[in-house]
Structure formats: structure tokens, C-alpha cells
Structure 1
């Protein structure tokens, strides 16, 4: 841990302002994520429509990730992220004021568009902000900043509906309480743009020309090889993760405050694991460290899905989140290091597209399966599918990506 702190203290000024923006974004995102499905239900969405609403931002990412990444080469990475913060904030504000499906879906589209900039741009930006010795630690610090902010965001998301309910005289789980809370998150999304004005603009030294929807032909083979784990893990996550709040609340009937506390502590566990993961990567190698922590998470996924104890589920959620997500910044930094600088925005976009393809198909399948089988049997099938898909992605990392790292 002391080694990690030493590296963090040596970050450049731009890196530190970037981490401030990442922290604000993570806080706002966690407030939103905790309550979004309940907002949809309050608007009268069926379970199928809730699945569709969860899939819309991912569908936006699937279609527009590559154009946004390629456009950021020309506008500059920092400017693209500022535009993303404004788009997400305005979209979430519109969603908080919506009272029907059509304006809600339009707002969700705008949120997805803004979120896309914060997904595909940070990896190439961070690669440019720090030298090789610090790069893995910056990737981990960015992820950890999101998670620590997520800890407080989840607590705030659980507490704010009760706060607004006391002021307005309505139920903490009412649509009004949720809408007021989402408005707060919308304002915070807009504020995220402020620290980004402190950053020096960054562009690739030799940006690639051509159409915005095209990945450079020489880059396609290596990008495809690097993407395969995300195909399996993204689909597995898409089946369950967007609906974990519904699963826990529906199975145990807990309050929003208790639900927020559970997700908050899971975020904090992830933050600690993420900051320690670079040390594991230095000891065992990047891909081996990814396989180790992801494999250790599998028993806790099973516990999360099939335990009848709320305490056991809370512990499983905490450990699974910490282990599974500890690998994310290491994987991102590893893949960025396998391609040329000019290809990195395209790789980041392709990774986002593959991941969001899983998070587009996954919620749709999840909503359909639960509507056919019911709450308990539906989630049981989905957790089994998640375990199989995760195991396949982990095996690919070990047998295909590890030899690439060691070559």
C-alpha cells in the first residue's frame, strides 16, 4: 500500500484534476444507479420496459462508442469529456422531470451519450497523462476514485429519498422522493465538467484520418483478440448487475437506506482491492493477476445468487465486487499497452462496444426470462448463466492473453 501511495503522490497536476472529475462522476453515477430502476417502476414501466430502459444507454454506446472515440482524437480528449458531463447532466435532469415513457427514453438516450464520453476517453487520456512507471497506478487510482465516491454516492442515494420525503410529506419510496434525489445527481453531473477545465488538452500525436465508424484495418486483428474476455464477462454481467438492487430489495424487502449501505460498502471494498491490485500484477503479471481475482470471485457470485441470508448476500456482494472489479483497471492498462498510440481510442471504443453489447442483450434477456419464469426461478437461471459466462472469459484470459503478455 505504501508503494501505491508513493506512486499516487508523484502524479502530474493534470492527473490529479482528472481524478477529481472521476470522483464527482462516480458519486453522481452511484446515486443514479441505486434508484434508477425504482424510478422506472414508479413511472409505470413493466419489467420488460425496465429491461429496455436499462438497455438503451448500452445501445447508444454500441452505436456511438467508435464515433465518439474517433471524434475525440480531433476535438481533444478533455473537451469530449466536458461535453459528456453536460450531456449526462441534462439528460438526467430531463429524466427526473419525466412523467411518461417517451420523454424518459429520450432522456435516457442523452444520458447514454454523455456516459459514453466518460467510458471511451479516459483510457487513452490516462495513458498520455503519465509515464509507463505510473500508468498502472493511475488506472487503478481512477477506478478507486470512482469507487470511493460510489461508496458515499450509494449512502447518499439511500438517504436522500428519506430526506426529501420528510420535507415534502410523502413516502421515502414514492416517485417524488426518487425524482428529487435524481435531480441532485443531475446537478452533480454538470459540476463534473468544472475540474476538467483545469486540464491541458490532449490529442494523439498522429491522429488517424478516415471515417468515424471505422477501426483502422491494421489494428483489427489485435483488437479482436483483446476483446474476447469482455464478450463473455460483459454478457454475464448484463444479465444480473443492472438488477442487483431489484434482486436484493425484492428477496429481502429491505429499505432504500439499507440497500444503499450494502452497495456503499461493496464500493469501498472494490476501492481497496483496486489499489492493491497493481502490486499483485507486479508479482504475478497482469493477466495472471486478473485470472486470480476473477476466479476467486466465482464462489461469492454463487453465494450472492442462492443464499437465503441477507447477511450472507451482503458479504458476498462485498467480496464479489471487490475481486471481480479489481481486475478492470489492470485489464484496461494491459490492452492499451498492446496497441499503438493512434489505435488506443479505437481500442477503447471497441472495448466499450463489446461490453455494452453484453449490457444491451443481457438486460433484455434478463427482463424476458424473469417475466416468463418469475422472480425466484428467473434469477436462479440468470445466476447460473452468469457463472458459466464468467468462467469462459477467465479461461480465455489464461490460455490466450497470458501468452501474449509473456511473449
Structure 2
């Protein structure tokens, strides 16, 4: 009798699980069907740029090291890119409104292509610095445009899904990019009759990547987007929002700022960490990064239904909190296998909430202030990357990776506390801005 009851309970449990799973998948299908044609073109572009820039980020450090430079220069180059993006974020918000979303996105992709190409054709410290500044312009222009563009080409029901898919597709495509990046210098080195770790092999690989970065602009040529009207392009409209809600703006931005300072200490150097600390070759590191990108992409795709269930801010706090133990394992494990597993979990957990929180932030403002608020978000994300890599490069040369990981762990913990303190401790999540309106687009939402 007891066995019969247990089997019946197990059957009901499986039935409930399948029913709930079916409901989740049905919701997912409904949200995907609602994506606007412009949004779908952007997703295609995100896949191409994600794969291309994933290979670039993986190989560029090795390319610079092969020329005889060290980590201090690498840190300074990351700082040049991020500091430029930081300084130009607010001006680029207005530029993005003036040019329009389509032209801004195409401009960002084109500048990225040019910067990579120039660093390969004219490899020297001044060119590296100058082109990383150009790359900062490109990242700033594309970064402040993406959020408002996705807001304007989505409705409330599918918005969180679209933001997560945009990041998920771009990140997931890095699975292919990082895998190719681990082998591309070997393939091109064999074709040239040189070592896979030679400057020639790395340079040829980056030339291929420059072409791929340029291809990311092609799908965006087919977008049909309206220009913002005069009121929405007003220079003073964002200032009015800041004057009305300065405390809210500070709470929305500060946790991201603290997180970026911690991320800048270790993330630009992950490939060097696995080479120097765990003594792994390029092909192994490339494969590791590829699977890491896939894990992160999958995390981004499962984020929307979880955010719907728990609430956006609670989802951010839970996932970032769970990432901390894996960050400790990654930084201090003496075994490569354990560090690799920790890398996957930390990467997925820490990054899967980014689009969710960006959606949450942009829901608090109207169209006239979105690009500028997106600029502030970009500034917060780039602030740590503008300063931390230079400090981290110096620390690594003199003391190794241990202090940088410890600093990141502390800063991530502070960031989680700020999210909880600002949005969960005393009151439920803030309601979306009541006066939000959406720009009309030329195509009906399908």
C-alpha cells in the first residue's frame, strides 16, 4: 500500500513538473514571437560581433605579449579603452539621440573593425594606445545605444526576454569565437610556416577578426528605425529627470560601479591567469573560455523566467551571492580542474543578471532620458575597468594574482549588500516609471 502511494506521489510530482515546464516553454515561445523585426536583426548582429570580439579579447593579450610587452602595458591598454568609454559616455548619449539608433549601432561596429585592423597593421605602443581609445569610442557609442534601442523595439511583456537574449546570443556566440580563438593561430601558423605563438600567427588571426567585426554592421543596414523628435533629443530633458530623482539615480548606479571596480581587477587577465598560474596552453584556455561563454549564454537565456518568478532585484541578489563561493574556488584552488568548474559557475551566476538589471534601470525613465541614463550605466560599468586593470597589472607583477582576487571578492560582496540595502531591505521593488511611452516604429510587432 505504502509503495503504491509513493509511486502515485512520484507520478503526480513528475506530472506537475512537466506541466510547469510546459507552461514556461509556452511563455517563452510567446515572448519570442513578439520580438520586433528590428530586434531580430540586432540579434543576428550580436551573434556576429560576439564571436568576432570574443576571439579578439582572447588573442589580443597574447599578441601584445608576443611583441615583447608585459602585463603593465596590457593593463594600461584596457584602461585607455575603458577610460575613454567612461569620459565619452554622456556625450555619446546625446550623439546617439542625434544620429539615431541605427546609425549609432553601425558606427560603433565600424569603429571596432578599424581599431583592430590598425593595431595589426601598425603594431607599436602609440598605435595600441590610440586604437584602444578609438575602441573606447566604439564601445561607448554602441553601449549607450543598445539599451534605448531595445526598449524602443519591445513591449513590456517581452522586454526582459529581449534584453537577456541580446546578451545571451552575443555571449553564446563567444563559445564558437573562443574555441576558434584557441586554434586559429595554430591553423594560420601552419599555413605561414611559423610557430602558433608567434606574432605573425597572432596578427593574421586578428586580421580575420577585423573582417568579422565589420560584418556585424551588415544586418543593421536593413533596420528601419525612426528618428527621435525634437523634444526627445532635448539636451535638458535628462537634466530634468536627474533633478527630480537624484537619490533614485544614485541607488541604481552605485552597486554597478562597485561591481565594475572589482571586475576590472581580474576579468581582463583571465587568460593570463590560466596560462601563468595553471600552466595551460592556448588551445586549452580557448576551449575553457568557449565553454564558459556557452555557460554564460545559457544562464542569460534562463534568467527571464526566474526574474519573473522571483522579481528582478531579488534575482540579482541571489545569483550574485551564489557566485562568491565559486570566485573563491577559482582564485585560490591549486587544481586546474576545480578552478575550471568554478570558472563556469561563477561566470554564469555573476553575469546572468546583467540584462535583467539593465531592464529594471531603464524602466524607471522616460524616452527622453533613456540614452543619458544608459550613458551613466555605461560609465558605471567602465569606471572600474578604466582604473582597476592598471593597478591589477602592477599588483600581478609584484605580488601575483592572490591580492587581486581578494579585492574582487570584497567588492562583489559590498555590491550585493548595496542591492539588498537599497531595494529589498525596507521596501518592495520600485515600480516602473508611470509616464514611460514607447517610440512608434515603422513595422508592426509580430
Q: TM-score, normalised by structure 1?
A: 0.95
Tell whether 2:237 aligns with 1:207.
Answer: no
Find the residue that maps to 2:103 and give its secondary structure: helix
How many Å apart are 1:25 and its aligned residue?
Answer: 1.1
How many Å apart are 1:213 and its aligned residue?
Answer: 11
> Hey, what does 1:294 align to over in structure 2?
320
Q: Write the deviation string for residues 321-368 of structure 1: whole angstroms up to 9, x where unpaired.
A: 111111101000000011122111111111111211100111011012
> Hey, what does 2:362 align to over in structure 1?
336
> Hey, what does 1:355 align to over in structure 2?
381
How many Å apart are 1:310 and its aligned residue?
Answer: 1.1
> Hey, what does 1:285 align to over in structure 2?
311
Find the residue that maps to 1:19 and give its secondary structure: helix
Cα distance between partner residues in 2 of 1:187 and 1:171: 23
* Larger proportion of helix: 1
Cα distance between partner residues in 2 of 1:309 and 1:212: 54
> Hey, what does 1:275 align to over in structure 2?
301
How many Å apart are 1:44 and its aligned residue?
Answer: 2.4
Q: TM-score, normalised by structure 2?
A: 0.87
Alpha carbons of structure 1 residues 202 and 263: separation in structure 2 relative to 1, 3 Å: farther
Cα distance between partner residues in 1 of 2:184 and 2:96: 36
1:127-166 equivalences under 5 Å are 127-166=151-190
1:386-401 equivalences under 5 Å are 386-401=408-423
Contact 2:326 2:345 in 1 (8 A): yes
Alpha carbons of structure 1 residues 227 and 287: separation in structure 2 relative to 1, 3 Å: same
1:70-109 equivalences under 5 Å are 70-109=94-133
1:346-385 equivalences under 5 Å are 346-373=372-399, 378-385=400-407
Q: Write the deviation string for residues 245-287 of structure 1: whole angstroms up to 9, x where unpaired.
A: 1001111221211111101111111111111111111111100
How many Å apart are 1:149 and its aligned residue?
Answer: 0.8
Tell whether 2:79 aligns with 1:55.
Answer: yes
Contact 1:4 1:275 in 2 (8 A): no
1:219-230 equivalences under 5 Å are 220-230=246-256
Alpha carbons of structure 1 residues 185 and 291: separation in structure 2 relative to 1, 3 Å: same
Structure 2, gaps ≥5 residues long:
1-23, 432-446
Q: Write the deviation string for residues 279-336 of structure 1: whole angstroms up to 9, x where unpaired.
A: 1111111000111111111010001001111111111111111111111010000000
Cα distance between partner residues in 2 of 1:266 and 1:387: 20
Alpha carbons of structure 1 residues 213 and 108: separation in structure 2 relative to 1, 3 Å: farther
> Hey, what does 2:346 align to over in structure 1?
320
Cα distance between partner residues in 2 of 1:113 and 1:258: 32
Greater shift in the superposed pair: 314-323 or 2-11? 2-11
Contact 1:145 1:271 in 2 (8 A): yes
> Hey, what does 1:250 align to over in structure 2?
276
How many residues align? The count is: 403
Cα distance between partner residues in 2 of 1:68 and 1:212: 15
How many Å apart are 1:217 and its aligned residue?
Answer: 4.0
Cα distance between partner residues in 1 of 2:242 and 2:249: 10
Find the residue that maps to 1:197 and give its secondary structure: helix
Contact 1:204 1:341 in 2 (8 A): no
Alpha carbons of structure 1 residues 228 and 215: separation in structure 2 relative to 1, 3 Å: farther
Tell whether 2:200 aligns with 1:168.
Answer: no
How many Å apart are 1:9 and its aligned residue?
Answer: 2.8
Cα distance between partner residues in 2 of 1:249 and 1:145: 28
Q: Write the deviation string for residues 102-125 of structure 1: whole angstroms up to 9, x where unpaired.
A: 112222222221122221111110
Contact 1:51 1:364 in 2 (8 A): yes
